[in-house]
Amino acid sequence: MNPFTFEAEHFFQTYKRLPLDIDRGEGVYLYTKDGTRYLDMFAGIAVNALGHGHDGIIRAIEEQSRKYVHLSNYFVQKPQIALARLLLTSSGYDRVFFSNSGTEATEGAIKIARAFGSSRGKTEIVGFSNGFHGRTMGALSIMDRSKYRETFGPFLDDCRVESFNNPVGLRSVVSSHTAALVLEFIQGEGGVRTVTPEFIEAIESLRKEFGFLLIADEIQSGLGRTGKFFAFQHFGVKPDLVLVAKSLGGGLPLGAILGKSLVAELLQPGTHGSTFGGNPVACAAGLVVLTELIEHGIMNHAAAIGKMLMKELWRIQAAHSSLVAEVRGYGLMLGMELSVDAEPIAEALREKHILVNVTDKTVLRILPPLIINEHQVNKFVRALNEVLAAIDTARK
Ligand code: PLP
């Protein structure tokens, strides 16, 4: 049976699938069954940091699978230890909790925030407009967009969503009752939108005054994607808890909460856990990802190539100013805000064998594997220029 027909008839229809029958991936390219090669500017929505078919990841998966695939968290497991060590030394945090996914990291952080508040008379957890923290009920409770929330309420008590980048609004609601703020320093799903310095300043002064936890959702922006280990490092703050996932497991499901000691101590044996969290095969793959990022220079490469790509995108903006409203982001987490629907542009790029994601209707979200080189970036830039030029011409 045709896989597309089968999916349409038998799967819960939660995803809008692309009309491509992918057979395999290699580096920054994906290949369909008929051998057509696509440049992957999606990277599995920021998961495939080292691209596809990375030898080191494959080897680590194979070697760890031969030892054990699962033991349970009754056991101390070497792959978890090795990954935790590198994650903590690279991040400067004291402790880690491994989950399977981003949304589970968010749920764990919400529990920690409540535990933090329970002896301090604080229960309120604040998220920000346009944010995205996952699909579980806790995550949805600190998000505002109806496309994710509609029909699923009621949500958790004492959660609220405040305007992103509105310092005055935030000052008027935060109080001694606030246990935590959960923030994407660069919103991913929300359209690659960055926090302003004024907003950070307001958060930091309120944090001093009221003593709430600052929780950074770095699930999409973290682990080198923006050219620094965490996106918040572009803004000179240190959150109390950090959530990561996406690229952490090298394509296998893995997430983590990183925390300062004082906060981490809020969880005790039995109060939180996960059967699969910190799966040893995923951790072994994750160790390769972090080693490549930090010790083999991939993060610095992402910073440099990201700067080059950003310059090219600005050039495109100047050449097609009636179509491109803004270019924003850091490193290889870039967004191009269009003055028209972005979906037809992504489709036109697909016809040129380039895959790019659309978010927030008018934003091309550019998230290539961090190993992308100059030649491949130029290929993308040329194709994007051609597509926008064709639209410009058709409009005249
Ligand atoms: N937080 C952010 C910033 C994300 O981008 C995502 C996923 O796109 C999540 C949380 C949820 O992660 P997951 O899909 O692994 O549950």
By residue range, what is the domain housing residue 17? 3-53+297-395
Residues 6+ away with beta carbon under 8 Å from 229 = 90, 91, 222, 223, 293, 294, 299
Contact 96, 102 (CB under 8 A): no
Residues 38 and 109 in one domain: no
- 277 is written with which tokens? 């969290």
C-alpha of residue 219 to centroid of ligand 1, in Å: 6
* Rg from Cα positions in the chain: 21
Reported pTM: 0.98
**What CATH number corresponds to the domain at position 41?**
3.90.1150.10
Residues 144 and 264 in one domain: yes
Do the bridges between strand 178-183 and strand 124-128 make them parallel or antiparallel, or are there none, so unpaired?
A: parallel
Confidence of residue 275 (pLDDT cuts 50, 70, 90): very high
Q: What whole-number percentage of the chain has pLDDT above 70?
A: 100
Q: What whole-number percentage of the chain has pLDDT above 90?
A: 98
Burial class (CB in 10 A: 0-12, 13-18, 19+), 103: buried
Pocket test of ligand 1: the residue of 104, 133, 182, 232 to mutate, having most ligand atoms within 8 Å of its CB, is 133
> Among the three residues 270, 295, 320, which one is the final residue of a domain in this structure?
295
349-389 tens-digit pLDDT: 999 999 999 999 999 999 999 999 999 999 999 999 999 99
Residues 79 and 41 in one domain: no
Ligand 1 interacting residues, C-beta cut-off 6 A:
45, 101-103, 106, 132-134, 184, 188-189, 217, 219-220, 245
C-alpha of residue 102 to centroid of ligand 1, in Å: 5
C-alpha of residue 341 to centroid of ligand 1, in Å: 24
Residues 216 and 312 in one domain: no
Query: What pLDDT shows up at residue 79?
Result: 98
* Mean pLDDT along residues 56-81: 98
Contact 365, 188 (CB under 8 A): yes
Query: What pLDDT shows up at residue 396?
Result: 78
pLDDT at 1 over 90: no
295-310 tens-digit pLDDT: 999 999 999 999 999 9
Which atom of ligand 1 is closest in space to residue 101's alpha carbon? 15
- Residue of 2, 27, 28, 36 lying closest to 17 (CA atoms): 2
* Closest residue to atom 15 of ligand 1, CA basis: 102
* Closest residue to atom 12 of ligand 1, CA basis: 102
C-alpha of residue 375 to centroid of ligand 1, in Å: 30
C-alpha of residue 1 to centroid of ligand 1, in Å: 32
Residues 223 and 206 in one domain: yes
Mean pLDDT of the chain: 97
